[in-house]
Amino acid sequence: MNSTAREHYPPNGSDTNGDRHQEQADTDHLKKLMRRDIAAFYNILSGTGRRILAALIKSAPTMDEPYSFVISSLQYAAKCSKLSVLRSLPKGENAGLFHREINSSGRRHGTVVTLYKERCEYFISLFKHEYGLLADTDHDWYQKENVTKGDRYQAVIGNKVDQIVKTPALCINTSDKTDALFNRLSDQGKRVFGIICSHSGEAKQDEVSLVIQSIARKAACSEVTARRVIKHGHDAGIYSKRIHERGPRFGIILQLNNEPITRIQDLLKSYPPHFETNADRYQTGVTNHDRYHDRNDTNLDTKGDRYHVTNADSSAKQHVNPCQPRADENKRRSFDTNADRYQNPPFLDRQIKSLSSSEGTEEEKWTRRLLSISRDDFQILWPNLQNERFGPDQIRQIVEHRLSFGETILDIEESLHAAHWELENGTFPEARKGVCNYLFATLKSKGTWRRPVGFLTPNEQALANAKKADKTRAELKNVEVQKVEKAEQDLQNHDFESWLSSLDNSEIESIDSKCHLNLNSETAKRGWRKTYWTKNVQGVSA
């Protein structure tokens, strides 16, 4: 009985060992399935896709912990275009290598990725086995002797030849402000810094004078982008920015700092900007959410200086070699921008043409007047508003907004006179976000400004001055008439006194006897005598 029992009931703990063996077998089976899936996914990837995903995995500080990265970092590490990176990331996520989500601070701050350790380690092992990746290298992803021609990155993208970096790549230290700024720069931002660096060799006392329009044209970007990049460089301590002493229209002056600007030059040599090709542009349906959105500048320091029409869509985009001198600059074609004249965009042209005949005459007149104000005219008319960064660009935005909703713009010019008068007399209301923002928001929504006590428009002031001048001239004329009359009266009195003194007493009594009134006083006698002289003596002599 005991032997039978020992045969049917195993010793204590044997069932636990069996469960462990079963769990281990299940784990091994899952690993085999996982490796089979990763291997199948790896085999269908192109050489560029493998390098992109390997660069993504190697850039992670630690596995199984989320970290943030930007597209441009993978672009340079894998030596490919942005479009290739955007195509490869969704494939890796669908294969289970990692999980992606948008940064909580917004798209412009990159994407947050969480790697799955076992899958990523096996993918890296396959990549090392194929390309011979060394354990102590970060950028040499494959050895030239082991790479086939089909797997190599082609230097021709679109129809343009990409740049080939001949100098060894520098290591970017993200803890340094200069390196961190350069690491998140776009190709347009790098071209802007390249232009600044090209002027540094000719700078006197490390000061560079630049014009925003010229920088935007050479860097093939919009003026808003150029202003934003220059402001980021100022905030990072690469240089200090100030407006030209002669005014904003003469540009800005940058006081360069030697160490940061030298570092930027070295980084530009190692990581130069790429040519902008059609292959690098975002195409619908390529990725899910890795879009490159235009950045909206919300900084009040640069918002007032924007230009409504930029040259972002210019067809002639020339590549800028960042650190080359400006020896051939005069040979390049310059664009004729008609100085600072504003050219009506098609929207406003359509709005003017669509105005009805009954009200279009007055609206069209004021629209053309407001849109034709240049910066020089604005500075002459409203210098106080110009000092507060309110100018023709803000007027054009206000006109465009109000015309699009069919609202009136007849009081815009007189409102600017009123606001200028209040700034001049210190009665402008308190504005928490600045005078420019307050005035812009008020005119954009209401189309008019309050009329201050004692304020007169230039036309009213001119009319008041004209009335005052007419009154003054009338008073002066009255004074002259009174002087003439007084002189004539004095002459008559003198002639009368001379005639009266020439008469004797009998003649005087004879004249007095001819009066039918009682002459009881000397004043009455003198009045009668003068009347007699006026009628009989002076009238006869005249």
pLDDT band at 338 (very low <50, low <70, confident <90, very high): very low
Does residue 404 carry a pLDDT above 60? yes
CA atoms of 204 and 246, how far apart (whole Å)? 18
Does residue 335 carry a pLDDT above 70? no
**Mean pLDDT lowest for which of 28-42, 150-164, 347-361, 438-452?**
150-164
What pLDDT is stored for residue 397 in this prediction?
92
pLDDT band at 23 (very low <50, low <70, confident <90, very high): confident
Does residue 515 carry a pLDDT above 60? yes
Does residue 365 carry a pLDDT above 80? yes
Mean pLDDT value across residues 214-237: 90
What pLDDT is stored for residue 249 in this prediction?
78
Query: DSSP H helical segments within 405-457, as ranges?
Result: 412-425, 435-445
Give which of 176, 172, 156 is closest to 164, Cα–Cα.
Answer: 156
Q: Contact 31/121 with Cβ under 8 angstroms?
A: no
User: In this structure, is the dihedral angle defined by the CA atoms of residues 344, 350, 353 and 357, taken in order, positive or negative?
Assistant: negative
What pLDDT is stored for residue 421 in this prediction?
92
CA atoms of 496 and 502, how far apart (whole Å)? 10
Give which of 343, 341, 351, 342 is closest to 409, Cα–Cα.
Answer: 351
Does residue 422 carry a pLDDT above 50? yes
CB neighbour list of residue 428: distance below 8 Å, 6 or more residues apart: 419, 422, 435
In order of 132, 196, 340, the CA distances from 125 in angstroms are 10, 44, 61
What pLDDT is stored for residue 18 in this prediction?
66
Does residue 5 carry a pLDDT above 80? no
Mean pLDDT value across residues 291-310: 45
What pLDDT is stored for residue 464 in this prediction?
84
Burial grade of 317 (CB within 10 A; 0-12, 13-18, 19 or more): middle
pLDDT band at 3 (very low <50, low <70, confident <90, very high): very low
What pLDDT is stored for residue 186 in this prediction?
86
pLDDT band at 140 (very low <50, low <70, confident <90, very high): very low
* Average pLDDT of the residues of the chain: 75
Q: Contact 385/416 with Cβ under 8 angstroms?
A: yes
pLDDT band at 144 (very low <50, low <70, confident <90, very high): very low
Mean pLDDT value across residues 314-327: 45
pLDDT band at 102 (very low <50, low <70, confident <90, very high): confident
Domains of the chain: 14-154 (1.10.10.10), 177-282+291-331 (1.10.10.10), 346-455 (no CATH), 503-542 (no CATH)
Query: Higher confidence at residue 477 or residue 278?
Result: 477
Mean pLDDT value across residues 14-40: 79
pLDDT band at 450 (very low <50, low <70, confident <90, very high): confident
Mean pLDDT value across residues 310-325: 45
CA atoms of 178 and 416, how far apart (whole Å)? 43
Query: Tokens 């940061």 belong to which residue?
Result: 260
Does residue 150 carry a pLDDT above 60? no
CA atoms of 122 and 94, how far apart (whole Å)? 16
Q: Contact 412/447 with Cβ under 8 angstroms?
A: yes
**Given strand 207-210, what is the order of strands in its sheet?**
207-210, 252-256, 239-243
CB neighbour list of residue 22: distance below 8 Å, 6 or more residues apart: none
